[in-house]
Amino acid sequence: MSSAAMQTRLVHACKFGKLEEIGGLVEAKADINGPNRGGETALGMALQCKQLGLGGKKMFKEDRDARRRLLVQEVLKASLDD
């Protein structure tokens, strides 16, 4: 997979809270600070992620914020494990 394709997939995974995809992409050397074609970074999308509800259901703000923190921690942890 090309590095541009990996960046796009990593940003997409962070944008939509797909924790299960993030670790594998970072292990494959996708950069959490590298921008996709639209200029978005994985870390930036993880910080802004609002798609953390289960099945698209709304969540209370506190629950959403807790899951967002977990997402950011997972992105950072995966990048440090390299």
Q: Which domain holds residue 11?
A: 3-80
Q: What is the tally of structural domains in the chain?
A: 1
Summarised one tens digit per residue, pLDDT across range 18-55 is: 877 888 888 888 888 888 888 888 888 887 776 665 55
Summarised one tens digit per residue, pLDDT across range 49-74 is: 766 655 555 667 787 778 778 888 88
Six token digits for residue 40: 């978005």
- Alpha-carbon span 24 to 75, nearest angstrom: 11
pTM beyond cutoff 0.95: no
Greatest alpha-carbon span in the chain = 38
